[in-house]
């Protein structure tokens, strides 16, 4: 390496600042022989010439588009290298990454919407899936009331991955459960009986489509079904007194699992 005065080239620090490359990277490229400074000062400091800087600029460009260092070396040093072919292959990889990122962005948009809206369905879709008595403002009311809870976050994450068909399956499962609930009440199933306990377990399984439901949370939910005018009207519309009966079978099942319904709390 020829000697030079300090004015014949640029130092590592100067090149780092000019190209936006770390000094560590420049040292590494020097060590592996990818881009070595051509000059050295009398004091032993290495300097990059204009030609070195041009090579470094090309390395930076190729690295930014995703080429590995070995492939960059081939492109720069192999006269027989198919540079356009290498760039086309890299462009195809970039296009694939762009597609993945676009899909990721769309998924993030759905997740944000789900956290803010609850249901990613139009009012018409909601009415078609959940029935004419469904109020499309209910999800917004639920967010205002429960939006800062872990259960709302769990519900939103499930909602983000669902379209109309998935929500229809959830609605059908709940309708089937409520039908079975009314039939069991008509048949005289007693709280604490195997038939009643099976329905309590089925309710937890079906409700898990929204978020996981512990037994204590289920007690609280059944209490709300009976006390809330809207929920009570819904269940009593299926069978008169069904909301109160459902609470009784939930309480009986909870006691069988060592839970006092009177002190159960939302977890």
- The model's pLDDT over 181-190, given as tens digits with 9 standing for 90+, comes to 999 999 999 9
Q: How far apart are CA 99 and CA 83, in angstroms?
A: 24
Q: Would you say residue 54 has pLDDT above 60?
A: yes
Q: Would you say residue 171 has pLDDT above 70?
A: yes
Q: Would you say residue 235 has pLDDT above 90?
A: yes
Residue 6 has a pLDDT of 47
C-alpha neighbours within 13 Å on the C-beta side of residue 91: 6
Instruction: Specify which residues 3 forms β-bridges with.
Output: 40
With a CB cutoff of 8 Å and minimum separation 6, the contacts of 260 are 254
DSSP annotation of 162: -
Q: Are 113 and 123 contacting, i.e. CB atoms less than 8 angstroms apart?
A: no
What pLDDT digit, counting tens, does each position of 246-255 carry? 999 999 999 9
State mean pLDDT over 58-63.
92
Residue 78 has a pLDDT of 84
Strands 46-47 and 39-41: antiparallel
| Chain mean pLDDT for the chain | 91
Residue 133 has a pLDDT of 80
Q: How far apart are CA 118 and CA 243, in angstroms?
A: 25
Share of residues in the chain with pLDDT > 70 (%): 97
Q: Would you say residue 192 has pLDDT above 90?
A: yes
Q: Are 246 and 225 contacting, i.e. CB atoms less than 8 angstroms apart?
A: yes
Q: How far apart are CA 228 and CA 244, in angstroms?
A: 11
With a CB cutoff of 8 Å and minimum separation 6, the contacts of 148 are none
Best CA proximity match to 35, nearest among 48, 24, 50: 48
List the single range of 7-11, 135-139, 141-145 with lowest mean pLDDT: 7-11
State mean pLDDT over 95-106.
93
pLDDT band at 1 (very low <50, low <70, confident <90, very high): low
Q: Would you say residue 2 has pLDDT above 70?
A: no
Q: Would you say residue 45 has pLDDT above 90?
A: no
Sign of the torsion formed by the C-alpha atoms of 44, 45, 50 and 54: positive
Q: How far apart are CA 86 and CA 67, in angstroms?
A: 9
State mean pLDDT over 168-186.
96
Residue 7 has a pLDDT of 53
């Amino acid at each position: 390496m020829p000697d030079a005065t300090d004015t014949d080239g640029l130092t590592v620090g100067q090149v780092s600042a000019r190209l936006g490359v770390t000094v560590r990277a420049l040292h590494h490229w020097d060590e592996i022989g990818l881009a070595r400074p051509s000059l050295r000062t009398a004091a032993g400091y290495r300097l990059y010439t204009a030609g070195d800087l041009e090579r470094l600029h090309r390395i930076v460009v190729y690295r930014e588009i995703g080429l590995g260092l070995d492939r960059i070396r081939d492109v720069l040093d192999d006269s027989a290298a198919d540079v356009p072919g290498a760039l086309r292959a890299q462009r195809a990889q970039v296009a694939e990454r762009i597609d993945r990122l676009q899909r990721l962005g769309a998924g993030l948009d759905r997740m944000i919407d789900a956290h803010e809206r609850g249901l990613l369905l139009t009012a018409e879709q909601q009415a078609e899936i959940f029935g004419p008595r469904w109020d499309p403002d209910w999800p917004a009311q639920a967010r205002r009331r429960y939006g800062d809870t872990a259960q709302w976050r769990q519900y939103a994450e499930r909602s983000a991955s669902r379209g109309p068909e998935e929500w229809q399956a959830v609605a059908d499962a709940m309708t089937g459960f409520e039908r079975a609930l009314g039939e069991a009440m008509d048949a005289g199933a007693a709280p604490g009986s195997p038939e009643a306990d099976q329905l309590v377990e089925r309710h937890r399984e079906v409700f898990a489509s929204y978020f996981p439901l512990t037994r204590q949370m289920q007690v609280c939910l059944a209490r709300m079904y009976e006390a809330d005018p809207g929920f009570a009207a819904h269940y009593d519309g299926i069978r008169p007194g069904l909301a109160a009966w459902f609470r009784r079978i939930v309480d009986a099942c909870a006691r069988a699992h060592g839970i006092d319904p009177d002190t159960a709390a939302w977890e």
